[in-house]
Amino acid sequence: MSKIRSKNTKFEDDFINLLNKSTRKKIRTHVANIKGKPDIVFDKRKVCVFLDSDFWHGWQYPRWKHLLKNDFWCEKIERNRDRDKKTTVFLRRQGWRVVRIWEHQVKGEIAQRVAESIDKLG
Extents of the domains making up the chain: 10-117
CATH number of 10-117: 3.40.960.10
Is the pLDDT at 29 greater than 70? The verdict is yes
- CA angle at 97 for the pair 89 and 86, rounded to the nearest 5°: 15
Q: In 23-96, which ranges are E strands?
A: 28-29, 40-42, 47-52
93-107 tens-digit pLDDT: 999 989 888 888 877
| 59, 52 Cβ separation under 8 angstroms | yes
What pTM did the predictor assign?
Answer: 0.80
